[in-house]
Structure 1
Amino acid sequence: MRFLRPIPRRLLPDDMIVWPAAGDGTYGPSVLVRHVRFERTESAVDDAHRSADGGAGRIFVDAASSEGAFEVPAGSRVLVGAGPSAHVLRCRRCCVVRGHVHHWELEVG
């Protein structure tokens, strides 16, 4: 596939605040990324205070359609909507041709 269109903004209804991991256990200043998609995954947890882990899921950040988009390093903290903030466990770069980034998929939990 030589060309893949950006993800349409109508499919990116969420905004996200990112506190990038600085590498020494601290976080950098917050960055707003607009027009992302958060697909929440819920799973049962063995905890007397919670019945499900509500902050886990996958966030899609489009290189063209998401305002302020950048490759979020693993270990960063993100907040989408009014939900709880979560850690970025993995950042997967999805490229089209010759390493050109189409979008990033952030696995959060």
Structure 2
Amino acid sequence: MSEIRALPVDTLIEGVPLEPLAPDQIAIALAAVGQLEEESRQLERRWTLRRERARYEAERARRQYDAVEPENRLVARSLERTWEEKLRAIETVEQENALSRL
């Protein structure tokens, strides 16, 4: 088996895998990771607020429905519909949140 040496090429090839590990490149990569983590936290916070808001509105609608006098059937039906819409809104937010995680 014969061997051909190309020292300038060998030196060049040896340095290629180490280029991404230069200190400034590591700092840039860490900054990018930090930024992505912050964006992820902010997005999670927005989803949390949306879920909390939807639950609050559904609970408020339930309390309004519970407070109506049984004799006021038309009002009760209207409040019941509103309550059901708010419950569906919770489901929608939960489904959107689940889809956004895919």
Q: TM-score, normalised by structure 2?
A: 0.20
Larger proportion of strand: 1
- Comparing both chains, which one has the higher relative contact order based on Cα–Cα distances under 8 Å and sequence gaps of 6 or more? 1
Larger proportion of helix: 2
